[in-house]
Amino acid sequence: MKIAIYVSSWPAGHEASGIVTYTAQLVSSLRSLGHDVYVLTPDPTEDDKYTINLNDFRDGRLSRLWRRIVAKVSSLPLASVEHANKIRLAARMLVEEKGVEVIEIEEAFGWNGQVSRLNIVPVVVRLHGPFFSTGRFNDAHTYTPMNQQREKQEGQAIKAAHYITTSCTSVLDSVREHYNLELARSAIIPLPIVAAPEREIWSAETCDRNKILYVGRFDSIKGGDLILRAFSELAASNPDLRLTFVGPDSGLKTDDEPLCFEDFVRQNFDESLRSRIDYRGQMKHADLMAMRTSHYLTVIASQYETMGYMLLEAMSLGCPIVSTAVGGIPEVIQNEHNGLLVPSQDQSAMVAACQRMLNDVDLTKTLARQTWLDCQELYNPDTVADQTIEVYENAIADFKAITRK
C-alpha cells in the first residue's frame, strides 16, 4: 500500500511532540510490513525520497492581492490558510505522481478539509486533541474570534473526512457530542510504543525510593501547579523526598501575565522545599527515558489527556504510576490493576495515592509489573500498524464505492 502521513516535524527527536512520536512509531512498523509511507512535513531535518517538504509547494495563482484579502476576511492566520493549501498541493502531487492511496492527517486547524474536498484520495483524520477540548486551558479568560473560527474549521474538516481514528473512546465521544456528528466511519486505534526488555525495566531494588518524577509542561492543562502543591504536602511527611520536574515552562494563565515556573515556586514555597525540587526543563527524549527508572514513582496530574506518551513511556519501562482520571487515561490505567487513579485537581487524593505507594512497596511492585505487561500486550507497534492498515483498507473501499456513484 502507498500511504502519506502529515506531521509537524520529521523525523522524531528534535521536537517535543506526542504526535511526532506516534507518527515515528507507526511509520517504522508500516514500512517494516512492506508499505511505502511518505511523510509530509513543513519541518524536515532529513532529505530522502519519502520525506515531502511542504515548503517546496506554492500555488503561483495565489497573488499578493489574494493574500491581503484572506488576511482581512479570515479569522485564521494567513500562515495557517497557506499551510492548508500547501498540504493540498502536496497531496495532489502524491496521488498523481506517486500513486498514494490514502492520506492520514491530524485534525489541527482543519487542514485536512482542502484535501478531503478534492475527493481524489481517502483522507483519514487522526484526532489527537481537538481545539475545543484543549483551547480553554490555553486561553482561560477569553475565547477570541480566531479561537472560535479554529474550532468551527476543525469541526467542518472532521465532518468532511472519509474516516476518523483516535486513541481513546473519550475523544471520539466528545467530538460526536460537541459537533453533533455521527462519525460512523471511525475506529479506536491505540498509540503504539515498544515495551522495553525486562532487564531494562523499573525495579524497586535499584531505583531511588525518595524520588518522584513528573513529566509535562508547566501549565494548567498538564497540572504542573497541582503536582507542586501535592509535593509540598508529601515533603512535609517524607523529609528525604525529592521531586524531579521535566518539561517546558509554558506558564500558568492568570488575569495578568502568565506565571512562570520559577515565580510560582518562589511565591508559594519556602527555600527548604525549593531546594528539593529539581527542575530540568525540556530534556532530550533519550536522556529522559534513561532517567525514568531511577525514580520510585511517576506522577501525571493533567486536567485533560487523550492517551498520551508521557503515560505510555512510563508503562513501557514498567514504572509505577499515579495519575488523574481524565480523558483517555482510565481506558489505559485501571485503578489498583496497573496504577492508582485520582480525580482531576484533587490535591488531597493525589497526596494520599502517592503516600500509599511510598508506604507499600509490594503494591507498587505489583502495579508496576502490570503496566509493563499491559504495554507489551496492547500497544505493540506492529499490532497497531495492522489495525491501522485495516482502517486504511476500509477507507479506500468506502471511498471507491462513494466515488463510483
User: What domains appear along the chain, each with residue ranges and CATH number?
Assistant: 2-192+380-404 (3.40.50.2000), 198-378 (3.40.50.2000)
247 phi and psi angles, rounded to 5 deg: 150, 160
Residue 14 predicted with pLDDT over 80:
no
Query: Which is nearest to 274 in space by CA: 242, 226, 249?
Result: 242
Which residues, including other chains, have CB under 8 Å from residue 87's CB and lie 6 or more apart?
A: 6, 40, 54, 105, 111, 112, 114, 115
SS3 content of the chain, % helix, strand, coil (to 5): 50, 15, 35
So what's the pLDDT on residue 85?
87
Which residue is it, cell 506554492?
58
So what's the pLDDT on residue 90?
95
So what's the pLDDT on residue 140?
47
- CB of 38 closer than 8 Å to CB of 5: yes
So what's the pLDDT on residue 135?
73
pLDDT higher for 279 or 146?
Answer: 279
pLDDT higher for 18 or 135?
Answer: 18
Mean pLDDT score of the chain, rounded to an integer?
91
The grid cell for 193 is 510504543
So what's the pLDDT on residue 78?
65
- CB of 363 closer than 8 Å to CB of 320: no
Radius of gyration of the chain (CA): 22
Average pLDDT rounded to a whole number, residues 178-182: 96
The grid cell for 236 is 512535609
So what's the pLDDT on residue 171?
94
Q: What is the DSSP letter of 339?
A: B
pTM of the model: 0.89
- CB of 5 closer than 8 Å to CB of 104: yes
Average pLDDT rounded to a whole number, residues 208-235: 95
Q: What's the first-to-final CA gap in the chain, in angstroms?
A: 24
Which residue is it, cell 485495516?
390
Average pLDDT rounded to a whole number, residues 255-276: 90
Please name the amino acid found at residue 382. Answer: D
Query: Which is nearest to 161 in space by CA: 178, 188, 182?
Result: 182
pLDDT tens, 83-96?
888 999 999 999 99
So what's the pLDDT on residue 253?
78
- CB of 298 closer than 8 Å to CB of 357: no
So what's the pLDDT on residue 182?
96
Average pLDDT rounded to a whole number, residues 33-49: 93
Average pLDDT rounded to a whole number, residues 37-50: 93
pLDDT tens, 238-264?
999 999 999 999 888 776 678 999 999
Distance, in Å, from the CA atom of 78 to the CA atom of 56, rounded to the nearest integer, reads: 18
